[in-house]
Every structure is written in structure tokens, then in C-alpha cells.
Amino acid sequence: MKCFITGATGFIGNNLAKKLLADGNKVHILARSQNGGELFEDDNVTVFFGDLQNTEMIIKAMQGCDVVYHLAAYANIWSKDKTLAFKTNVKGTQNILEAAIKNGVKKMVFTSSAATLPPSKEKEEVDESYPLPTTYLTDYETTKREAEQLCTDYCRKGLDVVIVNPPRVFGPGLLSKSNSVTIMIKNYVKGTWRIIPADGSQIGNYVYIDDVIQGHILAMQRGIPGEKYILGGTNISYNEFFNTLAQVSGKKRFMLNFPFSLMMFISKFELFTAENFGKKPLITPPWVTRYLQHRPLSSKKAMNELLYTITPLREAMEKTIEWLKINN
């Protein structure tokens, strides 16, 4: 099979491309730069240089492809150009959908985010049936949701599109901003990460990269067009996460709880500096609010319909730490 992929130079996309190649597929990649490493050197990879606004290149790159995996996105927490998130995540997705229609693609998997789902008020697991928020905290969430709606619209036009929603993904792979959990694990093991947000009780969902990759492939094989699937892992609080990490790594670190009020003060100062002096902020107020919400998820739909499986958190951490020892 011939597969078209966007975002192959990112954490999830890079791992997905390698898995597809290992399974005997040919891969077409749309990339903005030549920073693809060994992936670009594979004989079964054809690289087309362009971005999500280059409609002619997208159509050319997708020619002859059977399926499309669209993972490229703008996920920065702040940008001087306030239109970038919309241009990339919404208009860029529309350009991919249009090219897929024109090229007669059989099926497309769109990688959205669990960020489009609502937080949990009672710490109960949120699934795909929950009512979606009417407004979002960040441009990333807003534009990802708009892109989901586009995919639904194009399903009505006859294009088979399946949406997947991964949460906090970690594991072996590129140590980029989309792999921030692995960077946090790396720094904890080194002794340079000592912070727990607020009182540490906030629940998030953490999933191993191999599960997410397999979930993408299963969504392509078995996903129902027009449906969305949460590709999640383990629901766990910050406190439980770091306690488990301490046990797995054998390193018990003294951790400092960072009060919400202090996090918010720092984020407001960071945002002020960004808006007035152009210095990229480490965090902004909307993202502080997001990180302190409860976000437990249910992946039962993916498990039942896609036969999706979840690697236990402890095992996933062990594999990640072993990989870090060898590669970093």
C-alpha cells in the first residue's frame, strides 16, 4: 500500500512512518525541511517539500496514494502571528481533505487531540459521547475542533475520514515539544525536574507511543468513517505519576508543589514579556488552567471497535527509561 503522511518529522508522525515502512508499505511525505534523518534516506520513502498551504504540492505528493494520515499541526502555546494556528490546523486540514477528494483516496485518518474533549467535573472518564465545549481556552484546542468538523463535513461529501484523539503521548522518539512527557521523564531521572503542578491531584491520561501508532493503523483498517476514537492509556494524577516514575527509575526525588497562584502569576508575566518583547513564553495562563483540570479518558470505544490495546503505565515507563539510557 502507498501511504501519504503529513507531520512525519514530528514525534508521532515519525514513529508512524517508520512502522508503516516496517510493515512493507511505501510512504509519501510532505515536509517543510530536510530534517528527516534516516527516514528520508529510505528507498521506500518519497519526500515532497512544501507546507500545508502549498495546495499544488499537496495534490502532487498525494497522487497514487491509497490512504492519508494527516498529523501535521501547529501546537505552539504562543505565536506573534495570531493566524498561524488557524492557517495550519484548519485551512491546512481543508487543503489535505480537498487533495484527498481530487486524488480519489480510499480513506484518511486525521490526528486531532484529546484537548478537544471536555474536562471532567467529577473525575469520571470522558468518552467520545460527551458534549463538546462551546468555547475553548486555547487556539490549539479551538482550531483542532474546527478541523474535526471539517473532517465530518467531508465525510458527507464522500471521503472516508476517521478521527483519532490521543492525549499525553510519551515514549521513544524525537524529543520535541509534542514529546514533552518524555522530556519530563528524562529530566526527572537526571534530577533536574522537581516540580509538581498545584497539589498534584489533577488527573491526566498518559499513553505509550507504540499504542498510539497501532491505534492509527487500526483506525485506518477498522475505523468507521465519520467516527472519532480516543487513543488513550492510563488515567493517573500527577502525584501518582511521579510516584510510579520514582519506583520504576529507582530514583526518589524531592518534589516541590507549585501553587496555582504562583503558576498563574508566572504565566501572566511570561505572556506580558512575549506580547511586549517577542520572547517566547514557557507557559501562558490558558495552558496553566488546562494543566490543572481533571482529564481522565475512556478508550473503550477504540478497544471494542478497533481492537485497540493499552500498554500498562509501569511497563511503558520502563521501556522509555531504557530507551533514554541508550539514546540520550
Question: What is the per-residue pLDDT across 267-302, written as a single tens digit (0 to 9) for each?
Answer: 999 999 988 988 888 889 998 998 889 999 999 999
Q: Which positions ≥6 away from 181 have C-beta within 8 Å? A: 168, 169, 170, 206
Q: How far apart are CA 159 and CA 200, in angstroms?
A: 43
Q: Which of 9-13, 164-168, 196-200, 272-276 has the lowest mean pLDDT?
A: 272-276
Residue 147: is its pLDDT beyond 70? yes
Count of Cβ atoms closer than 10 Å to residue 73 Cβ:
25
Ramachandran sector of residue 46 (left: φ over 0; alpha: ψ -120 to 50; beta: rest): beta
pLDDT tens sequence across 230-243: 999 999 999 999 99
Q: pLDDT grade, residue 3 (50/70/90)?
A: very high
| Per-residue H/E/C for 218-232 | HHHHHCCCCCEEECC
Element (H, E) at 98: helix 92-102
pLDDT in the model for residue 231: 98
pLDDT tens sequence across 212-225: 999 999 999 999 99
Q: How far apart are CA 73 and CA 146, in angstroms?
A: 13
C-alpha cell of 89? 490546523
Q: How far apart are CA 253 and CA 182, in angstroms?
A: 17
pLDDT in the model for residue 277: 85
State what percent of residues in the chain have pLDDT above 70.
Answer: 99
This prediction's pTM: 0.95
Q: How far apart are CA 71 and CA 202, in angstroms?
A: 28
Domains of the chain: 2-168+207-233+296-310 (3.40.50.720)
pLDDT tens sequence across 86-145: 999 999 999 999 999 999 999 999 999 999 999 998 789 999 999 999 999 999 999 999
State what percent of residues in the chain have pLDDT above 90.
Answer: 85
Could you identify the residue written with the cell 521506500? Answer: 44
Q: pLDDT grade, residue 82 (50/70/90)?
A: confident
Residue 183: is its pLDDT beyond 80? yes
User: What mean pLDDT value characterizes the chain?
Assistant: 94
pLDDT in the model for residue 291: 85
Count of Cβ atoms closer than 10 Å to residue 100 Cβ:
25
pLDDT in the model for residue 36: 63
pLDDT tens sequence across 40-64: 888 999 999 999 999 999 999 999 9
| Identity of the amino acid at 33 | S
pLDDT in the model for residue 122: 78
Residue 26: is its pLDDT beyond 70? yes
